[in-house]
């Protein structure tokens, strides 16, 4: 049974699986071998977060479109509450490789879709998005499709800055020639040293100073195209997130590190989750604004 008295932050990240059809060396999601959340359990999680009054959910992984039940989950999560109030705002964070026919079943239930492009330089991008080619072209096709036929769904384009793409990251928007296909938000991430990112930090980590130099160039590029820029810095990660992992463990970030605090269905209503309300809201609303 879910706990209707459970207090959760306004915004949570649901990491349904570790499995992915890419092998990105900077990934901070669960390990690929982690078993996927079953549909039955995922629907229990949906009921729990809705009862807890969660206002927005980012669905990620791993790659969530690999789960056959994903269309049913996003529909159940996004439907109006029994009170008649709107359901949580649903964001799908995907690598963009799912066939369009599959996405057509998911897109009607989304508020936002988050898509990744790491560099305007093809070689740099391939070094970071490993496993399917041409990944970048497929992401751009999906972006154009969403803009053309699903205007209600807003788009966040994400770029993770590592040591391998400092040259090409600021040019990502140059890949989008049609002004009508530009994203609503372009978010620049400093690579986090978590999970696979920790494994490869010696190869990929970027200093704060080097990251700010890339940010400065991205700010100019975004201003030139009239795109809202959002910047993620590792220094601001603590307290901003609550993740629900495939095994239903609740994960928070303290001191820049992920900490598992217990099973979602066994949490005490008064447990200290180490989530800062202002940071949690600011992170989500800044990335996925209403207008």
We report the CATH number of the domain holding residue 145 as 3.20.20.70
| Number of domains present in the structure of the chain | 1
- For 129, the 3-state DSSP assignment is coil
Asked if pLDDT for residue 169 goes beyond 80, the answer is yes
Q: Is residue 220 part of a domain?
A: yes
In a domain, residue 249? The reply is: yes
| Position 137 in a domain | yes
3-state secondary structure 213-270: HHHHHHHHHHHHHCCEEEEECHHHCCCCCEEECCCCEEEEEECCEEEEEEEHHHCCCC
Q: What is the pLDDT of residues 205-253, one digit of tens each?
A: 999 999 999 999 999 999 999 999 999 999 888 999 999 999 999 999 9
Count of C-beta atoms within a 10 Å radius of residue 150: 16
User: Whole-angstrom Cα distance, residue 62 to residue 58?
Assistant: 13
Neighbours of 188 (CB within 10 A): 24
Task: Convert the pLDDT of each residue in 257-291 to its tens digit.
Answer: 899 999 999 988 666 788 999 999 999 999 999 97
| pLDDT tens digits, 36-79 | 999 999 999 999 999 999 999 999 999 999 999 999 999 999 99
Confidence of residue 1 (pLDDT cuts 50, 70, 90): very low
Domain span at 232: 11-287
Could you tell me the pTM of the whole model? 0.96
Q: CA angle, corner 202, sides to 198 and 206, nearest 5?
A: 90
Q: Can you tell me the distance from the alpha carbon of 68 to that of 262, in angstroms, rounded to the nearest whole number? A: 27
d(CA 114, CA 151): 14
Which of 37-41, 129-133, 177-181 bottoms out in mean pLDDT, i.e. has the lowest? 129-133
**109/106 Cα distance (integer angstroms):** 6
CA 139, 143, 146, 148: dihedral to nearest 10 degrees? -130
Residue 6 lies in a domain: no
Query: If you average pLDDT over residues 185-206, what whole number do you get?
Result: 94
Q: What SS3 class is residue 83?
A: coil
* Any domain includes 167: yes
Tokens standing for residue 214: 């890339």
**CA atoms of 221 and 106, how far apart (whole Å):** 31
The whole-number pLDDT of residue 211 equals: 98
């Amino acid at each position: 049974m879910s706990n209707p008295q459970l207090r959760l932050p306004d915004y949570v990240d649901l990491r349904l699986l570790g499995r992915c059809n890419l092998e990105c060396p900077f990934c901070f999601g669960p390990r690929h071998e982690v078993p996927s959340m079953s549909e039955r359990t995922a629907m229990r999680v949906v009921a729990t977060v809705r009862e807890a009054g969660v206002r927005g959910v980012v669905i990620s992984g791993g790659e969530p479109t690999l789960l056959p039940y994903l269309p049913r989950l996003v529909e159940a999560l996004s439907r109006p509450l029994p009170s008649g109030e709107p359901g949580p705002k649903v964001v799908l964070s995907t690598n963009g490789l799912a066939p369009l026919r599959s996405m057509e079943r998911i897109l009607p239930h989304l508020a936002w879709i988050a898509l990744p492009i790491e560099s305007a330089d093809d070689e740099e991008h391939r070094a970071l998005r490993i496993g399917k080619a041409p990944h970048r072209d497929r992401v751009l096709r999906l972006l154009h499709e969403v803009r053309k036929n699903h205007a209600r769904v807003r788009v966040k384009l994400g770029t993770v800055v590592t040591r391998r793409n400092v040259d090409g990251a600021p040019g990502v928007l140059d890949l989008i020639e049609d002004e009508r296909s530009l994203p609503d938000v372009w978010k620049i991430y400093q690579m986090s040293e978590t999970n696979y990112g920790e494994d490869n930090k010696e190869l990929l980590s970027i200093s704060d100073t080097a990251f700010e130099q890339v940010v400065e160039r991205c700010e100019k590029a975004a201003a030139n195209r009239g795109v809202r820029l959002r910047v993620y810095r590792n220094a601001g990660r603590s307290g901003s997130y609550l993740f629900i992992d495939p095994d239903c463990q609740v994960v928070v970030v303290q001191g820049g590190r992920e900490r598992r605090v217990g099973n979602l269905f066994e949490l005490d209503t008064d447990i200290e989750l180490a989530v800062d309300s202002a940071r949690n809201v600011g992170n989500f609303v800044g990335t996925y604004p209403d207008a």
